[in-house]
Amino acid sequence: MQYISTRGQAPDLDFGDVLLTGLARDGGLYVPSDWPQLSHDDLRGLAGLPYSEAAARILQPFMDGIGGDELLEMTRAAYTSFADPGVVPLRQLSDGHWLMELFHGPTLAFKDVAMQLLGRLFDRELSRQQRRVTIVGATSGDTGSAAIEACKDRDAIDIFILYPHGRVTEVQRRQMTTVLSDNVHNIAIEGTFDDCQALVKAAFNDLAFRDEISMSAVNSINWARVVAQVVYYITTAVALGAPDRKVSFAVPTGNFGCVFAGYAAARMGLPMDKLIVSTNRNDILYRFFQTGSYRMDQVVATQSPSMDIQVASNFERLLFDLADRDGGTVRRQMAELAEQGGFEVPPAALQQAHRIFRSHRVDEAATTATIGDVYRDNGIIIDPHTAVGLRAALDLVPDGPVITLATAHPAKFPDAVEKACGIRPPLPAHLTDLYEREERYATLPNDLATLQDHIRGLRRN
């Protein structure tokens, strides 16, 4: 399998190099040159397999160079760290509605599902190539802790995580800043998540700096992150009767990584009815799916901070397909976005998107009400991100079963949850002393040169 850039001007790479490279050198994102196909029999053959075995089977065609047994060993190691034996268990809420619980990993959000595997893939590839890397990542709250957990104490990796100062919850911040390993560096940026993400992209696009520090990415601009998430769409659909029954998914969305994995599953042959992109008030994607116009707006802080994003990096991967994989079109769109704050796609491209995608926007009051309703009706406590997804599933009523992705454990967002249902959800046992642990982080202005100096000063080799 070769990987190509969405902007058409970077070299094609194999999986190992895509993993270490992150962002393509032309500023684009890597995507597979074609989509591996799963026949209906292949899909039926996944029924009843342990999650790690299904994962190895689904991921194998994307990862040439890694033997089947070796991959299975890695998926097993990655997913034994999950608190539920099913890894991503389904819970039925009502007729036709299910939650897919993606938060049983060590840092309590769905980011662990990909990151636990990614840490192991990095280790393998770095020792094979005898290289070291400096990972620089931006987080809106959950990627950071999941990446730190996956990379801490690994010899060949230094990791720097940028988060927006004062805009992540205390639990989210402490899950990052209380990891005191030598190779872990947290940076509070005086700005928004979009500022953090723009700084990381700018650092990547400074090719001299990028080479100097051997820079790599664990944000969902890294293809390996996205592909690891394809697995749970397929396994849960199969558990509910795919390929003989079409299911829909409702996906709380920020950077478009998780929902793009759902799109990839559909492109690989998983029968899917609707894929619902659910946003909070930061609704650039919702507006796009309504009108075909992708236009930046101000970021506002909400109860679902991991989705407080305006520029959704992974959306570029969908734009590339909607442009019939023409890198020149994507380059023009991205230039317009940077220079004029937005662009439009042709009506035919929007129509193509509507074959599978739907979108919904959920405001703060509806988010709170949904948490309260689910607690009252089902005795289940959901987090605000999950509530945004579920509200969309309930409001848009697709035909047939719909699976809402429960992306975070409610204990990560105790204030919002308590306000909505009166219960303060406790942290699981391995995190009960989180509030007593020592923290370490630096605070930096939103400035590329300052960030670069900071990284130069702290990385180990």
Ligand X SMILES: *Cc1c(COP(=O)(O)O)cnc(C)c1O
Distances in Å between the Cα of 428 and the Cα atoms of 78, 103, 381, 410, 411 are: 19, 11, 14, 11, 8
| Residue 279 binds to ligand X (criterion: CB under 6 A) | no
- Does residue 419 have an active-site annotation? no
Q: Which stretch binds ligand X (CB under 6 A): 55-63, 250-258, 320-328, 367-375?
A: 250-258
Segment lying near ligand X (by CB under 6 A), choices 13-21, 25-33, 53-61, 249-257:
249-257
Cα→Cα distances 202→10, 210, 451, Å? 17, 10, 11
Length of the chain as a residue count: 461
- Exactly one of 142, 149, 194, 373 binds ligand X (CB under 6 A); that residue is 142
CB of 39 to ligand X, least distance (A): 28
Helix (H) or strand (E) segment spanning residue 85: none
Q: Which of 256, 263, 315, 320 binds ligand X (CB under 6 A)?
A: 256
The Cα 303–Cα 423 span in angstroms is 16
Closer of 70 and 170 to ligand X (Cβ): 170
Contacts of 25 (CB under 8 A, 6+ apart): 5, 10, 11, 207
- Is 5 a residue that touches ligand X (CB under 6 A)? no
Q: Which of 248, 253, 303, 329 binds ligand X (CB under 6 A)?
A: 253
At closest approach, how far in Å is the CB of 253 from ligand X?
A: 4
Amino acid at position 460, single letter: R
SS3 169: coil
How far apart (Å, rounded) are the C-alpha atoms in residues 23 and 27?
6
Exposed / middle / buried, residue 223 (Cβ in 10 Å: 0-12, 13-18, 19+): buried
Among 175, 192, 278, 407, interactor with ligand X by CB under 6 A: 407
Which stretch in 40-48, 188-196, 204-212, 248-256 sits in contact with ligand X by CB under 6 A?
A: 248-256
161 binds ligand X (CB under 6 A): no
Cβ-based neighbours of 159, under 8 Å, separated by 6 or more? 134, 135, 137, 147, 148, 151, 152, 183, 184, 185, 218
Nearer to ligand X, 210 or 317 (CB): 317
State in angstroms the smallest separation of the CB of 344 from ligand X: 22
From 111, 246, 274, 412, the catalytic residue: 111
Binding flag, residue 252, ligand X (CB under 6 A) = yes
> Within 10 Å of residue 290's Cβ, how many Cβ atoms?
12
Among residues 111, 281, 360, 391, the one that binds ligand X under rule CB under 6 A: 111
Q: Does 183 bind ligand X (CB under 6 A)?
A: no
138 binds ligand X (CB under 6 A): no
Q: How far is CA 440 from CA 12, 182, 311, in A?
A: 39, 11, 29
Site for ligand X in 306-335 (CB under 6 A): 306-307
369-398 mask for ligand X (x: CB under 6 A)?
Answer: ----------------x-------------
Helices (H), 164-283: 170-177, 193-205, 207-212, 223-239, 257-267
Closest to 295 (Cα-Cα) out of 305, 308, 279, 282: 282
Nearer Cβ to ligand X, position 108 or 238? 108
Cβ–Cβ < 8 Å for 64, 15:
yes
Least distance (Å) between residue 250 CB and ligand X: 12
Binding segment for ligand X among 62-70, 185-193, 251-259, 350-358 (CB under 6 A)?
A: 251-259
* Choices 185-193, 234-242, 253-261, 418-426; region in contact with ligand X by CB under 6 A: 253-261
* Angle ∠(7,8,12) on CA atoms, nearest 5: 120
Cα gap 451→203, rounded to integer Å: 9
Interface of this chain with ligand X, residues 6 to 65, rule: CB under 6 A = none
Using CB under 6 A, list all residues that contact ligand X.
109, 111, 142, 220, 252-259, 306-307, 385, 407-408
Catalytic annotation, residues = 111
